[in-house]
A and B are shown apart, each in its own frame.
Chain A
Amino acid sequence: MPFMDNILRFRDDAAHDEPAVTLDSFLGQSNATAVRIEAGDDARALLPYLDRIALVEVSFPKFRDGRGYSSARVLREAGYTGELRAQGDVLVDQIPLMRRCGFDSFAPEAPVDEAVLTASLARYEHVYQAAADAQTPVWKRRHG
């Protein structure tokens, strides 16, 4: 599993090294390329700027706070292709769902057991619904 500097990445490109700025400061300056959005921030505020953003870091203050899953999908649905990182209280059992929502980078506060993660990511061969990843929902498999 590609762990580098405590960041788990599912991307081939080089890690973005510019520090992420808050949504407010991003919206107030024109040249930042990395932005951090808090759980309660409206990810749609970033939509006009997607083509110049290389990294969006979505904060998970508590693992129970699921707002970031929607933020991720909103960004991917709008065509964002840059790095989308889940940062904070991110648990190993949540990473498969986050992958489905479009996250391709993870910065968990607590270490993740790589063997458990590998097993989790391989566990479900099929999914019921379309989401922000490339998996084919079973209804599509059923009907060719």
Chain B
Amino acid sequence: MKILTGNDLASGDVTWWTGEGWSRHVEDAVDVGDQGEAIAHAEEGARRVNAPYVIDATLTDAGPRPAHIKDRVRALGPTVRPDLTLKPADPNAGSWVI
């Protein structure tokens, strides 16, 4: 599947396109098919996202899993600071990245 990601313009938070808006959680990302570039262009123009780009992902039971490690790090947070990730209570969250 193809999913769309970027950063919130004002806060810089990593965000994922949900089909209706932007979520901080990759689990909410939807397949954008071949519409990714068009959505990115419109959303960037409306300043709802900064530096958006389309990536490959696979759909798993836990939701979309970005194909590249860089985007998995973005989705979770720094592997060396579990306390600062989106899943601070899950000590094994980092293994999802690797």
The answer to whether A and B touch in the complex, with CB atoms under 8 Å apart, is no
Residues of A within 8 A of B (CB): none
